[in-house]
Amino acid sequence: MGAEWREGGTRRTPGRAVAYATCGVVLLAGCASMPDSGDLRGVESTPRQDTQVRVFAMPPRDDAQPLEIVQGFLEALTSDDPGYATARQYLTEKAAQKWEPERSTTVLTDGPATDAGPTGTRDDADDYSYTLTGTRVATVDAQQSYAPASGEYGQVVHLSRDKKNGQWRIDALPQGVVMGKSDFQRNYVSVNKYYFASNTTADGSDGSRQPMAVADPVYVRERVDPMTQMVRSVLTGPTSWLRPVVRSSFPTGTALPKGVTALTPDDQNKLTVPLNDKAVHIGQGKCDEMAAQLLFSLRSLTPAVDEIALRAGGTQLCSLTEERAAAVAARGSETNPGYLYFIDGQHRLERMTSGSGNTKADPVPGALGDGAKALRSVAVSRDEHSAAGVALDGKALYVTSTVSGSSIGDPVLQSKGKTETDRLTTPSWDTQGDLWVADRDPAAPRLLLLEKGAGQPLEVLTPGLDGRINAVRVAADGVRIALIVDKGGKQSLFIGRIERGQGNAEQASVSLQELRSATPELEQVTAMSWAGDSRLVVVGREAGGVQQVQYMQCDGSVPEAGTLPGLTEVTSIAASEDSEIPLFATSKEGLLWLPGGSGWRTLKETASAAFYPG
Give the per-residue pLDDT at 359.
81
Q: Encode pLDDT of 523-539 as tens digits.
A: 899 999 999 999 999 99
Q: How many CB atoms lie within 10 A of CB 422?
A: 17
pLDDT digits (tens, 9 = 90+) for 528-586: 999 999 999 999 999 889 999 999 999 999 987 778 998 889 999 999 998 889 999 99
Yes or no: say if 496 and 515 are a contact pair by the CB < 8 Å rule: yes
**Range 318-336 average pLDDT:** 92
Distance, CA of 113 to CA of 11 (rounded, Å): 9
Mean pLDDT, rounded, for 242-268: 96
Give the HSE-up count for residue 602: Cα atoms under 13 Å, Cβ half-sphere: 10
Rounded average pLDDT over 68-77 = 97
Residue range 162-189, pLDDT digits in tens: 999 999 999 999 999 999 999 999 999 9
pLDDT at position 204, please? 63
Per-residue b/e over 547-567, b at no fewer than 16 CB within 10 Å? bbbbbbbbbbbbeeebebeeb
Evaluate if residue 135 carries a pLDDT over 90: yes
Region 591-609: mean pLDDT is 88
Mean pLDDT (whole number) for 425-447: 96
Residue 317 pLDDT exceeds 90: yes
pLDDT in the model for residue 503: 60
- Domains of the chain from N-terminus onward: 6-188 (no CATH), 249-330 (no CATH), 332-611 (2.120.10.30)
**Residue range 125-131: mean pLDDT, rounded:** 91
pTM recorded for the entire structure? 0.88
**Cα(410)–Cα(397) distance, integer angstroms:** 9
- What does the pLDDT read at residue 132? 97
Q: To the nearest whole percent, how much of the chain has pLDDT over 90?
A: 77
More confident residue, 530 or 24: 530
pLDDT of residue 386 exceeding 60, the answer is yes
DSSP alpha helices (H): ranges in 281-350? 284-301, 322-328
Average pLDDT, the chain: 88
Distance between CA atoms of residues 474 and 555, nearest Å: 16
